[in-house]
Amino acid sequence: MDATAAILLSVLLTSIVSLVGILTLALRQSALRKLLKGLVAFASGTLLATAFIDLLPEAIEQNAPAMGFALLGIVMFFTIEGVVRWHHCHDEKCEVHPFTYLNLLGDGVHNFIDGAIIAAAYLTNFELGVVTTFAILLHEVPQEISDFGILIYGGFSRRKALIFNFLTSLASFGGAGAALLFSPVIGELVPALLGLAAGGFIYIATTDLMPELQRSERIGDVLGSLLVLLAGIGAVQLLTLLFEA
């Protein structure tokens, strides 16, 4: 198998993972509502862990001003959310919360980077490409579960969430194609994109998701959310350690 075919197959496999939410289609609406708060807590943990354990260290390793790009990402996502809220929400009522669109944007950037990384790995060494694809697949499972939960919690139907999550995952093909065609330029842009995506994930987790977890007045609910949030962090940390090993 030549490198281009291997890149396209690997990117397709990582995109298919975005359909993991299909497992919830068999659930009743009442059961899904009970599951949603756990998904939001898990999403908060995975977004923060992906930003601080995965994206920012990678950007720093590439000698990029990672914190500056992350700060820019936070400001950029704040601005985008304000514009979306102004355009789609009236009298403080939104059929779909603006953070759903922010998450799609951040996830799209993340997937674009994943595609570029997969392509660069295969172009360097076939075995490295296989290992990199496997690592990204493992990372994508908790990430895609979280993304699906965010979209549902934000007002998407399950079917719409599946479709949009899958369409966003196709950004990885754009990243792979860009790496194949413009590898020197993409190599210079990746650290900036890593920082921007990290800033976006931090913004979504801390301003849109975590406040929702503290609405309950029952200490048991808050502690439960904390444990699930920590589980999300732990999942990303464990997968990162396995990949580094």
Q: Which residues touch 159 (CB under 8 Å, ≥6 apart)?
A: none
Q: Whole-prediction pTM value?
A: 0.72
pLDDT given for residue 87 in this prediction: 61
Structure tokens given for 148 = 């699906």
71 has a pLDDT exceeding 90: yes
User: Which tops the pLDDT comparison, 91 or 136?
Assistant: 136
197-226 pLDDT, tens per residue? 888 889 888 987 888 788 776 888 888 889
Structure tokens given for 54 = 């995965």
11 has a pLDDT exceeding 60: yes
- Which residue, 122, 113, 25, 19, is CA-closest to 69? 113
Best-predicted range by mean pLDDT among 33-42, 68-77, 84-93, 185-194? 68-77
Average pLDDT value for the chain: 81
Three-state secondary-structure class, residue 86: helix
Average pLDDT over residues 125-141: 73
Classify residue 230 as exposed, middle or buried by CB count within 10 Å of its CB (0-12, 13-18, 19+). Answer: middle
Distance CA 195, CA 198 (A): 5
pLDDT category at 50 given cuts 50, 70, 90 is: confident
CB 10 within 8 A of CB 137: no
H-type alpha helices, the chain: 3-16, 29-49, 56-61, 66-88, 98-124, 126-153, 158-169, 171-181, 183-203, 210-213, 219-244
Structure tokens given for 34 = 């009970």
Average pLDDT over residues 138-150: 76
